[in-house]
Structure 1
Amino acid sequence: MVDTLNLVVITGMSGAGKTVAMQSFEDLGYFCVDNMPPSLLPKFWELVKESGKVTKIALVIDLRSRAFYDQIDEMLSNLDNTNFVTTKILFLDASNEELVSRYKETRRAHPLAMEGRLLDGIVKERNLLSEIKNRSQIVINTSELTPRQLREEIFGNFKSAETKTFHIEVMSFGFKYGVPIDADIVMDVRFLPNPYYVPEFKKLTGLNQAVYDYVMQQPATEDFYERFSSMLHLIMPGYEKEGKTSLTIAIGCTGGQHRSVALAERLGKDLGQHYPVETSHRDMNKRKETVNRS
Structure 2
Amino acid sequence: MTKTKTKHVLLITGLAGAGKTTALKTLEDIGWETIDNFPIRLVEGLLKTPPSRSRGDADPPLALGFDSRTRGFNPDDLIKRVKALQQNENYHISTLYLDCAGGELERRYSETRRRHPLALDRPAKEGIALERSQFEPFRRWADHVIDTSDLSTNDLQRQIREEFSVQDTDITTVTITSFGFSRGLPNNIDLLFDVRFLSNPFWEADLKLMTGLDAPVAEFISKDPAYTEALEKFEEMLKFLLPKYVKAGKAYVNIGIGCTGGRHRSVHIAEVLSKNLHAAGFSPNVIHRNLASRPMDALEAMQDLNGSKGI
Task: Work out whether the TM-score is over 0.5.
Answer: yes
Partner of residue 114, structure 1: 120
Partner of residue 160, structure 2: 154
- Kindly provide the amino acid, as one letter, of the partner of residue 22 in structure 2: V
Partner of residue 191, structure 1: 197
Q: CA deviation at 1:175?
A: 0.8
Change (3 A) 1:202 1:40: farther
Partner of residue 65, structure 2: 60
2: distance between equivalents of 1:66 and 1:40?
Answer: 11
1: distance between equivalents of 2:91 and 2:151?
Answer: 31
Q: CA deviation at 1:122?
A: 0.9
Scaled by the length of structure 2, the TM-score of the pair is 0.85
1: distance between equivalents of 2:291 and 2:102?
Answer: 57
Are 1:93 and 1:139, in contact at CA under 8 Å, matched by a contact in 2?
yes
How many residue pairs were aligned?
Answer: 294
Change (3 A) 1:78 1:209: farther
Instruction: State the SS of the aligned residue for 1:227.
Output: helix
Are 2:98 and 2:145, in contact at CA under 8 Å, matched by a contact in 1?
yes
Q: CA deviation at 1:17?
A: 0.7
Question: What root-mean-square deviation, in Å, do the aligned CA atoms of Structure 1 and Structure 2 show?
Answer: 2.5
Instruction: State the SS of the aligned residue for 1:47.
Output: coil
2: distance between equivalents of 1:280 and 1:2?
Answer: 39
2: distance between equivalents of 1:62 and 1:210?
Answer: 64
* 1:144 partnered with 2:146: no
Gaps of 5+ in 2: 305-311
Deviations along 1:64-115, whole A, 9 cap, x unmatched? 2683226644542332121211011111110010001001000111111122
Corresponding residue to 2:96 among 72, 84, 90: 90
- Kindly provide the amino acid, as one letter, of the partner of residue 283 in structure 1: N
* 1:124 partnered with 2:130: yes
Change (3 A) 1:197 1:94: same
2: distance between equivalents of 1:291 and 1:243?
Answer: 43
- Kindly provide the amino acid, as one letter, of the partner of residue 47 in structure 2: W
Q: CA deviation at 1:161?
A: 5.3
Q: CA deviation at 1:288?
A: 6.5
Instruction: State the SS of the aligned residue for 2:62.
Output: strand
Stretch of structure 1 that moved more, 232-241 or 19-28: 232-241
Change (3 A) 1:185 1:55: closer
Scaled by the length of structure 1, the TM-score of the pair is 0.89
2: distance between equivalents of 1:271 and 1:221?
Answer: 17
Change (3 A) 1:288 1:41: farther
Instruction: State the SS of the aligned residue for 1:201.
Output: coil
Change (3 A) 1:210 1:290: closer
1: distance between equivalents of 2:264 and 2:256?
Answer: 14
Change (3 A) 1:245 1:55: closer
Corresponding residue to 1:279 among 277, 286, 290: 286
What does 1:32-71 align with in structure 2 at a 5 Å threshold?
A: 32-48=34-50, 53-64=58-69, 67-69=72-74
Corresponding residue to 2:229 among 219, 223, 239: 223
